Amino acid sequence: MKEAMFYDRLDEKKVRCFLCAHHCVIKEGNRGICSVRENRDGTLYSLVYGKLISMNIDPIEKKPLFHFLPGSTSFSIATVGCNFRCEHCQNNEISQYPKEHGGEIMGQPSTPEAVVEAAVRNGCKSISYTYTEPTIYFEFAYDCAKLAHQKGIRNVFVSNGYTGPEAAKAIAPYLDGNNIDLKGGDEFYKKICGARLEPVKETILLMKALGVWVEVTTLIIPDHNDSEKDLRDIAEFLSSIDPSIPWHVTQFYPTYRILDKPRTPVKTLRRAREIGFEAGLKYVYEGNVPGEGGENTYCPDCKELLIRRLGFSIGEKTIKDGKCPKCGYAIKGVWK
């Protein structure tokens, strides 16, 4: 256990956690919505510090981050727990583990030093805090990220965007990239995720303002968040912040508790991509449909092919020093 960051002590040994946007008020002996932060005698503790449930070496394209050191690998870690309860979670076995196993905390012991050393040893250019929501194991991610920066390793969150502003400001000096889910409208968040939309939008705005490279993913679920209005609202919001934010519109497949909906038709992804461009976005990518052509990066100015992708693999790559080699247009991202 490690004492948690970002909480206030209240009367009657209660605490208020403000790590994420839920702002849980937790009675003595209880846990927050994430199931991994517990109030013990008026002190809030993280139960997952250094308890890793997953460690893998992934292509950075899997996060997905397409404008962040393309072709590199990222040492990816996670603990159990999550502050959402998404009905379509692809990693529900670990994200919902404490909630579905009587509060049990699983994981292998590790240290920030071990994580960073593993990233260096395996030639990874970054460490990704991913698979579950990194905000809920913030203390461990924060210690890893600080040490990683000292070693020249970049840090990446793959996040649902519910990070509280205080936590976002604390991690930003060490956080280089953040792929944030923008899942749909407010009703979708309430019904499917147990959350609200507005805090996610605020996190996207704040991360951009803090200088973190941001890409956004929308998993499109038939009959849930695939209407023209849903997609246009997202696209126009992102474009209003920065038209160069890459938007990943991704194919859903039946999983966890949403088994009654089919895979997202490619034509829906194609239409979402068109809506993104119509809204002024410069980079819109189709996800989970390798070979369809929607994964490639083109110059917004002269339409030159800059990066050819197939799934998580990089083929042709002509971009140089963050610019189109044909017309010199600056392509925003983290390239070196």
- d(CA 75, CA 92) in angstroms, rounded, equals 21
CA 179-182-183 angle, to 5 degrees, is 125
This model's pTM is above 0.85: yes
The pLDDT tens digits for 35-78 are: 999 999 999 999 999 999 999 999 999 999 999 999 999 999 99
- Give the phi and the psi of residue 148 in degrees, each rounded to 5: -60, -45
What is the per-residue burial (b if ≥16 Cβ within 10 Å, else e) of 87-115? bbbebbebbbbbbeeeeebebeebebeeb
The pLDDT tens digits for 204-217 are: 999 999 999 999 99
Task: Calculate the CA 109 to chain-centre distance.
Answer: 24
Assess contact for 12 and 5: CB atoms under 8 A: no
User: First-to-last CA distance in the chain?
Assistant: 37
Q: How confident is the model at residue 332 (pLDDT cuts 50, 70, 90)?
A: very high
Burial of 66 from C-beta contacts in 10 A (0-12 / 13-18 / 19+): buried
Residue 254 one-letter amino acid: P
Q: Is the pLDDT of residue 291 over 90?
A: no
Assess contact for 173 and 182: CB atoms under 8 A: no
Q: Which residues contact 200 (CB under 8 A, 6 or more apart)?
A: 160, 161, 162, 180, 181, 182, 183, 189
Q: How confident is the model at residue 24 (pLDDT cuts 50, 70, 90)?
A: very high
* Three-class secondary structure of residue 228 per DSSP: helix
Q: Is the pLDDT of residue 1 over 90?
A: no
Q: How confident is the model at residue 136 (pLDDT cuts 50, 70, 90)?
A: very high
Please compute the mean of the pLDDT values over residues 116-135 and round it to a whole number: 98
Tell me the Ramachandran region of residue 103: left when phi exceeds 0, alpha when psi lies from -120 to 50, beta otherwise. left
- d(CA 24, CA 33) in angstroms, rounded, equals 7
- d(CA 197, CA 314) in angstroms, rounded, equals 33
Q: Is the pLDDT of residue 128 over 90?
A: yes
Q: How confident is the model at residue 336 (pLDDT cuts 50, 70, 90)?
A: confident
Please compute the mean of the pLDDT values over residues 128-156 and round it to a whole number: 98
Which residue in the block uniquely carries the two structure tokens 């992934």?
58
Tokens (6 digits) for 285: 């990518």
